[in-house]
């Protein structure tokens, strides 16, 4: 099988939807369907079962997709090794980044990176820090950017530290939380972030919020708070000084600001690659300037 066909299977397995996969591949659905049938004929096995809900991998399909992942990764690594022998920065920079960093901090850094190194490609996945660590352990990415403190035996570099704020369009200090009927808008996050907020709340009030709204993403939480629906606790990396909203810093029992650290993790071998070194240089520039 050609590497393009393997990549096609990977996109199908990620989307599990013919229409969405066809859009990513810039082909028509009938053309994609025909190519898939040809691949299944080559393997002599059904890879996907189609239904109105989308695609489902067959047991044989799971094995074939696993083979496709391994082969594509191996091909990319060979290309990286070859590009390291040349002077130009190229190859694929594979990143796994905590969602909040991917939304608010990383785009500015990547803009500089792609302008400076137009021949380099970028593969980016976002998610919770636990998911980022999984990608690192499976050697699917060069660099992982995680929130909070995590055990890591490879290269670990501090990236940034941001403080937590109570944000609302009406509430100006934490004491008002005891009397307000406004809901506390929370977003689903990894356990360490959730625990930090819970510890602060119970230390401060020894009771639970009167009303809560739980949403799936931090950006949804932020927009609901900014539109006056309720109050939220957000990290400064997600906030802008120009935004018209009250921001009350959270502090611990000693009066020190409560903050979260962000770290870059990876293996030593990955940090030797030209595209990774180039990315680290851009990151360092941004860190100094900020």
> Is 93's pLDDT higher than 90?
yes
Please state the separation of Cα 151 from the chain's center in Å: 19
pLDDT tens-digit map of 203-230: 888 888 889 999 988 889 999 999 999 9
pLDDT above 70: percentage of residues in the chain: 97
Per-residue pLDDT tens over the stretch 144-173: 999 988 889 899 999 999 999 999 999 999
Give pTM, 2 decimals.
0.69
Reported as a single tens digit per residue, the pLDDT across 183-193 is 999 988 876 78
pLDDT computed for residue 97 by the predictor: 95
129 torsion bin: left (phi>0), alpha (psi -120 to 50), beta (else):
alpha
Residue 110, pLDDT > 90, answer yes
pLDDT tens for 231-287 read: 999 999 988 877 789 999 999 888 899 998 999 999 998 998 889 999 999 999 887
Instruction: Return the residue matching tokens 């060069």.
Output: 142
CA dihedral 152, 106, 129, 259 (to 10 degrees): 90
Phi-psi category of 215—alpha, beta or left, where left has phi over 0 and alpha has psi -120 to 50?
beta
Asked whether residue 48 carries a pLDDT value surpassing 90, the answer given is: yes
pLDDT of residue 214: 92
Supply the mean pLDDT for the chain. 89
Q: At what angle do helices 59-84 and 3-15 cross, to 10 degrees?
A: 120
pLDDT at 68 over 90: yes
> Is the pLDDT assigned to residue 87 strictly greater than 70?
no
């Amino acid at each position: 099988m050609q590497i393009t066909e393997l990549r096609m299977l990977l996109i199908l397995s990620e989307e599990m939807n013919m229409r969405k996969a066809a859009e990513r591949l810039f082909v028509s659905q009938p053309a994609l369907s025909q190519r898939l049938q040809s691949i299944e004929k080559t393997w002599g096995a059904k890879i996907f079962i189609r239904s109105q809900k989308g695609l489902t991998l067959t047991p044989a399909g799971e094995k074939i997709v696993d083979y496709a992942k391994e082969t594509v990764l191996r091909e990319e690594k060979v290309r990286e090794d070859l590009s390291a022998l040349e002077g130009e920065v190229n190859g694929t920079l594979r990143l796994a980044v905590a969602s909040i960093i991917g939304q608010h901090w990383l785009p500015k850094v990547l803009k500089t990176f792609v302008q400076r190194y137009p021949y380099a490609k970028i593969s980016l996945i976002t998610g919770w820090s636990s998911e980022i660590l999984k990608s690192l352990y499976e050697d699917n990415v060069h660099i992982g950017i995680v929130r909070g403190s995590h055990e890591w035996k490879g290269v670990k570099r501090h990236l940034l530290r941001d403080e937590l704020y109570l944000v609302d369009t009406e509430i100006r200090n934490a004491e008002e939380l005891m009397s307000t009927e406004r809901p506390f808008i929370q977003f689903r996050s990894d356990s360490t972030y959730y625990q930090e907020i819970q510890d602060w709340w119970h230390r401060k009030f020894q009771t639970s919020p009167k009303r809560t709204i739980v949403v799936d993403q931090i950006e949804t939480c932020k927009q609901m708070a900014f539109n006056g629906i309720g109050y939220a606790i957000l990290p400064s990396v997600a906030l802008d000084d120009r935004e018209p909203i009250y921001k009350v810093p959270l502090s611990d029992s000693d009066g020190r600001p409560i903050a979260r650290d962000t770290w870059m993790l990876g293996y030593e071998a990955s940090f030797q690659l030209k595209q990774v070194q180039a990315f680290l240089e851009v990151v360092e520039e941004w860190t100094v300037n900020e």
